[in-house]
DNA sequence: TTGCTCCTCACGTCACGTGAGGTGGC
DNA sequence: TTGCTCCTCACGTCACGTGAGGTGGC
């Protein structure tokens, strides 16, 4: 038996890019605007991302098609961090709840709209096929 | 009985914006890059869009979430025009067919991916709700 | 004449893309 | 030492947004 801790998983930016489907430049940009700051750096100056960092980047990736500005995404992420920190009954906690609530509403509506657009786009694809056979 | 023709429907840019859900600036931009040039102008210099112009703008609107560069959309639109002009057996017609075929493939794949992203985004929305009830 | 909608520049912005030139660890 | 991956500027680009200043027709 050993007291050795399992090594915490850390990912370099290239691997994070592969895992999330985001470009390296996009990941760096998200750091520039304060969206996802890598939880550590190597002895050199390489960014090292934790599994949680990667999960957050995945979420951002899936939300991209909904077209929220990065500034708004940052507001949302901060609100969620506040809630996760268990400060629900503080005034910051209440504000955070309100932010998340509003965001949830807008998001649900945009998902609905996006689905409609996709359906139309698909109809257009069928039209393309028809013309090819036409 | 009269020889009078029914007036051809023409729309000013503001009405086109409402009908398509695109901004006026976006519609002008699409003209700047040669995507949709209004079929006429008023005696003043107001842009006048035909129902076909409006239909094309609607198609562009629905395809926006798929993230094709406008230059590529222009290539596609031109290819479709070539096919619609019935020049299928000319070499231009064959090239047009090839363009449309490739586009169709990429488009179908992107629709699939976009649907996946939306599903994930929706899951995230549910997560937001859960945290609100926490 | 007043409102409203439209017009043409032209600069600004957001979200990255794309080199240039340099460093770090297997 | 060579490769590969990463680094930091910093300018470029794409798709518009946003005034500024002006005109046209009910």
Q: Could you report the per-residue pLDDT of A49-106, keeping only the tens digit for each?
A: 999 999 999 999 999 999 999 999 999 999 999 999 987 788 988 999 999 999 999 9
Q: What is the reported pTM?
A: 0.91
Structure tokens at A19: 């895992």
A83/B117 CB distance under 8 A? no
A125/B111 CB distance under 8 A? yes
How far is C-alpha A9 from the chain's CA centre? 19
B100/A65 CB distance under 8 A? no
Residue at minimum CA to C1' distance from nucleotide D17: B25
pLDDT at B2: 47
Q: What angle do CA A65, A68, A73 make, to 5 degrees?
A: 115
Residues 69-128 of A with CB under 8 A from B: 80, 83-84, 88, 97, 100-101, 103-104, 107-108, 111, 114-115, 117-118, 120-122, 124-125, 128
Which residues of chain A are within 8 Å of residue B66 when distances are taken between CB atoms?
A: 121
Q: Could you report the per-residue pLDDT of A24-52, keeping only the tens digit for each?
A: 999 999 999 999 999 999 998 999 999 99
* B68 CA → C23 C1’, Å: 37
Of residues B103, B68, B113, the one with CA closest to residue A21: B113
B10 touches chain A (CB under 8 A): no
- Mean pLDDT, chain A, integer: 93
Nearest nucleotide relative to A13: CA against C1': D6
Distance from CA of B77 to the nearest CA of A (A): 11
pLDDT beneath 70: ranges in chain B: 1-7
Which stretches does DSSP call E strand in B36-80?
A: 40-41, 47-48
3-state secondary structure of B101: helix
B65/A132 CB distance under 8 A? no
CA distance A76 to A74: 5
pLDDT at B115: 97
Structure tokens at B68: 């094709």
pLDDT at A131: 87
């Amino acid at each position: 038996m050993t007291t050795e801790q399992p090594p915490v998983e850390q990912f370099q930016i290239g691997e994070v890019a592969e895992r999330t489907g985001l470009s390296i430049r996009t990941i760096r940009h998200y750091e520039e605007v304060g969206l996802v700051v890598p939880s550590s750096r190597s002895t050199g100056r390489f960014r090292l991302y934790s599994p949680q960092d990667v999960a957050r980047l995945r979420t951002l990736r899936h939300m991209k098609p909904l077209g929220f500005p990065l500034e708004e995404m940052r507001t949302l992420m901060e609100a969620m961090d506040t809630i996760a920190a268990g400060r629900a009954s503080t005034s910051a906690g209440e504000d955070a709840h309100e932010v998340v609530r509003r965001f949830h509403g807008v998001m649900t509506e945009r998902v609905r709209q996006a689905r409609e657009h996709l359906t139309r786009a698909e109809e257009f694809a069928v039209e393309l096929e028809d013309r090819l056979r036409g």
